[in-house]
Amino acid sequence: MSKKPIYVTEPYLPPLEEFIPYLEQIWDSRRLTNNGPFHKQLEETLCDFLGVEHLALFANGTIALVTALQTLRITGEVITTPYSFVATAHSLVWNNIKPVFVDIDPITCNLDPDKIEAAITPQTTAILPVHCYGNPCDVERIQRIADTYGLKVIYDAAHAFGVRHHGESLFKHGDLSVLSFHATKVFNTFEGGAIVCPDAKTKQRIDYLKNFGFADEVTVMAAGINGKMNEVQAAFGLLQLKHIDHAIEQRRAIDTRYRQTLLGISGITCLAEPVHTVRNYAYFPILVGEEYPMSRDALYQRLRDHGIFARRYFYPLISSMPMYRGLSSANAANLPQANAIAERILCLPIYPDLAAEQVDAIAVMVSGAGL
């Protein structure tokens, strides 16, 4: 194994010489932020690439989540998943909203629609599902539930850049979809994020909220925040888009190679590939079962000892963290599938520059031959 550590993901970096002209334009224009030309261009280009009509860029995905909830004036209780990165639930708390956790489907690791309806109370105003690992939620069933009870649906789509479901953009479902462009994501702008919204009026409100609430130089419409993406981030995003198809194809090849090399290892299960879906191969999760000769945590540590920094995404559950475990919905007895998956999950490294021989070496170590 290479002496260089292998992380679960690394940012895709196009050749530096391709980025220099963008920086020179920024230096020459002296326009560094506040809806500059690269910012406007990236919003338009992303709409075309993703197949959506309206998109608002943000400095990061967490501020985008916080703002999405404010955009729709969400209050009270929101049903969400315990199986996600903490920003999902934190965005609710920042808005003084009570998270209500329900269990996940053990096949997809997404919010289980069968559990949503029973959790609805008179205080419920919205559902906040996550397209976990970029695999689509059951968007049709979730929407039917939302329509029946008059609820809003905001998708945490941090993992789902470019994913298409049944031939159309996954972001056309729900009232809003929130993306992350963090450095570890399939598409990145160093830090960054976006909200996909259905109409120009909603985008206008989002644009007010992400700029302190300013409608013009003297008019403040709401208690907004500073969530703007700067020109350097936007320029890097434009450059990334030129290479994104190739980067996703490289991820696809790695995913295929893992599935081939891990096939037949007792106690190791790859998550099922979603049907009717054009994937982005954001992560490569495996489940470590009882038949495997060591525990998930032991495998995790042994891989780290050999310079392979796999991650237990998502462990521990959000619902088990101190700021959430006092909620009645956080009771482990109510979340058996989420707890079981969290104890077994391990995400192996996947990123465009991961070489085939490295994938094979990781697979050999998981098989037990190198441990």
Q: Where are the beta strands (DSSP E) in the chain?
A: 6-7, 54-58, 77-80, 98-101, 124-128, 152-156, 164-165, 168-169, 176-180, 193-197, 268-270, 277-278, 284-288, 308-309, 345-348
Q: What is the pLDDT of residues 20-35, one digit of tens each?
A: 999 999 999 999 999 9
Distance CA 104, CA 83 (A): 7
pLDDT score for 4: 86
Q: What is the pLDDT of residues 83-124, one digit of tens each?
A: 999 999 999 999 999 999 999 999 999 999 999 999 999 999
Please say which residue of 185, 215, 239 terminates a domain: 239
- The mean per-residue pLDDT over the stretch 313-328 comes to 98
Locate 189 and state its tokens: 């702008």
pLDDT band at residue 368 using 50, 70 and 90 as cut-offs: confident
Clarify whether residues 149 and 267 are in a common domain. no
Clarify whether residues 268 and 172 are in a common domain. no
pLDDT score for 369: 67
Q: What is the pLDDT of residues 206-229, one digit of tens each?
A: 999 999 999 999 999 999 999 999
Domain membership of residue 8 (yes or no) is: no
Q: What is the pLDDT of residues 173-204, one digit of tens each?
A: 999 999 999 999 999 999 999 999 999 999 99
Full domain range(s) for residue 43: 16-239
Please say which residue of 239, 266, 288 terminates a domain: 239
| Inter-residue contact 295 to 302 (CB < 8 Å) | no
Clarify whether residues 228 and 248 are in a common domain. no
Q: CATH number of the domain that 154 lies in?
A: 3.40.640.10
Domain membership of residue 2 (yes or no) is: no
Clarify whether residues 260 and 126 are in a common domain. no
Q: What is the pLDDT of residues 29-72, one digit of tens each?
A: 999 999 999 999 999 999 999 999 999 999 999 999 999 999 99
Sign (positive/negative) of CA torsion 169, 172, 174, 177?
positive
pLDDT tops 70 at residue 371? no
pTM over 0.85: yes
Sign (positive/negative) of CA torsion 86, 92, 93, 97?
negative
Distance CA 292, CA 303 (A): 15
Q: What is the pLDDT of residues 335-363, one digit of tens each?
A: 999 999 999 999 999 999 999 999 999 99
Clarify whether residues 129 and 191 are in a common domain. yes
Q: How many domains does the chain have?
A: 2
pLDDT band at residue 3 using 50, 70 and 90 as cut-offs: confident
Q: What are phi and psi of 54, to 5 degrees?
A: -140, 135
Q: CATH number of the domain that 277 lies in?
A: 3.90.1150.10
Domain membership of residue 317 (yes or no) is: yes
Domain membership of residue 6 (yes or no) is: no
Clarify whether residues 231 and 295 are in a common domain. no
The identity of residue 86, as a single letter, is V
Clarify whether residues 131 and 72 are in a common domain. yes
The identity of residue 343, as a single letter, is E
Clarify whether residues 42 and 77 are in a common domain. yes
| Inter-residue contact 310 to 347 (CB < 8 Å) | yes
Please say which residue of 239, 258, 273 terminates a domain: 239
| Inter-residue contact 8 to 311 (CB < 8 Å) | yes
Q: Percent of the chain, pLDDT > 70?
A: 99
pLDDT score for 6: 96
Cis peptide before 316 (omega within 30 of 0): yes
Distance CA 321, CA 51 (A): 37
Locate 339 and state its tokens: 């707890």
Q: What is the pLDDT of residues 254-264, one digit of tens each?
A: 999 999 999 99
**Coil, strand or helix: which one is 174?**
coil
Clarify whether residues 62 and 183 are in a common domain. yes
What's the mean per-residue pLDDT of the chain? 97
